[in-house]
Structure formats: structure tokens, C-alpha cells
Amino acid sequence: MTIAMLIGMSGGASAQSMSMPMPMHGGAAAAASGSAPTDASHGDARVPVDFPPALRREVLATMRMHLQGLAEIQQAMTQGRFDDAARLASMTLGMSSMHGDQAAQEARYMPPGMRELGARLHMQAGEFILAAQDATATGDHHKPQTILGHMMQTCVACHAAYRLQ
């Protein structure tokens, strides 16, 4: 999934709220996602997102790839392998990680806020790639670590606000 750099108040969470960890309970998630139907009968205030079954499987597989990528990026960074971290980000989180018309197909079923969070993640991955490559040359490890934290916060915000059906 990819994410736009800024989210307007009408489309989802504010840019300011994205810099802070989001609580994992439904109230904050509902507020972050705007007014939308929820499944209060199951105590889940996240916005339900309906995908056709085959596409839902693809979306879940992509999300697992993103999560695995984040774990491998973090491992590479702890070992000082920033070029490897950049390569991993490109393969698992960057725009090149999307194949064919996958992004367009997924976007058709996503609420605007979810699309924006997806776009933000992919844009942050691009920033991370450049910062990690620079870290190898400059020794400045703070910037890629900060961007990685923002990427993870973006994932958390999306999962706190939306759930696949």
C-alpha cells in the first residue's frame, strides 16, 4: 500500500496526528478515519473495507510482505547495513514493489483515507531509500531511523482505522 505525504482532515487523520503513535482502541481509530460505518456489534470501530475475495487475499499478502520488509530493514539497520536496508525498502515497500495494475485495482475499493495512507507509506519508503543510501556515505543514521519510525506509524494508523472484510 502507498501513502500521500499529507492527509486532510476530511480524508483521514491529520498530518499532526500521524507523528504521534495512535492508540489501539476503536475511539481514536474512528476519529482518525472520519465518519463511516462501523461494526459496533463486534466492538470494532475501524472502518470496514470490502474487497472481492481474490483481491482481499492479494492485499493481505502485500501487507504481510510490507511487515516482513519492515522487520528485515530494521535488522539490516541494526547491523549497520544501510545499503541493504535501502534495497529491502525498494523491493518490499517502494513503488516498485507494486506489480502491474495492482495499486489501481486495490485503490478502487479503498476509502480515500486508506488510499492516502497507502500513498504516504510508499512515499516515505522512497525518502527512506535515499536517506539510507546517504547514511552509508555520511554516517548520519538518524534520518533513516526517523523515517523508518514514521513508516511504521503510518502502518499502525492505517490498521487502527481500517479493517478488511
User: Can you give the pLDDT at residue 124?
Assistant: 97
Measured at the alpha carbon of residue 142, what is the angle toward residues 140 and 143, in degrees to the nearest 5?
Answer: 90
Is 7 a member of any domain? no
Is 148 a member of any domain? yes
Ranges assigned E (strand) in 2-116: 47-49
For residue 44, what is the DSSP state?
B
Is 8 a member of any domain? no
> Would you place residue 95 in the very low, low, confident or very high pLDDT band (cuts 50, 70, 90)?
confident
> C-alpha cell of 88?
529491502
Please measure the distance between the N-terminal and C-terminal CA atoms of the chain and give it in whole angstroms. 17
Are 111 and 47 spatial neighbours (Cβ–Cβ below 8 Å)? yes
User: Can you give the pLDDT at residue 104?
Assistant: 85
Is 6 a member of any domain? no
> Would you place residue 94 in the very low, low, confident or very high pLDDT band (cuts 50, 70, 90)?
confident
Is 91 a member of any domain? yes
Are 15 and 119 spatial neighbours (Cβ–Cβ below 8 Å)? no
pLDDT tens digit string along 10-63?
333 333 333 433 444 444 444 444 444 545 556 899 999 999 999 999 999 999
Is 5 a member of any domain? no
Is 112 a member of any domain? yes
Please count the CA atoms within 13 angstroms of the CA of 14 that sit on its side-chain side.
6
Are 18 and 8 spatial neighbours (Cβ–Cβ below 8 Å)? no
Map residue 114 onto helix, strand or coil: helix
pLDDT tens digit string along 96-139?
776 668 788 889 999 999 999 999 999 999 999 999 999 999 99
Is 3 a member of any domain? no
Domain count, the chain: 1
pTM of the model: 0.74
Give the whole-angstrom CA distance, residue 162 versus residue 164: 7
Helix axes 112-138, 53-78, angle to 10 degrees: 20
Q: Which residue has the cell 472520519?
A: 34
Please state the φ and ψ torsions of residue 164, each to the nearest 5 degrees: -80, 145
Domain span at residue 95? 15-164
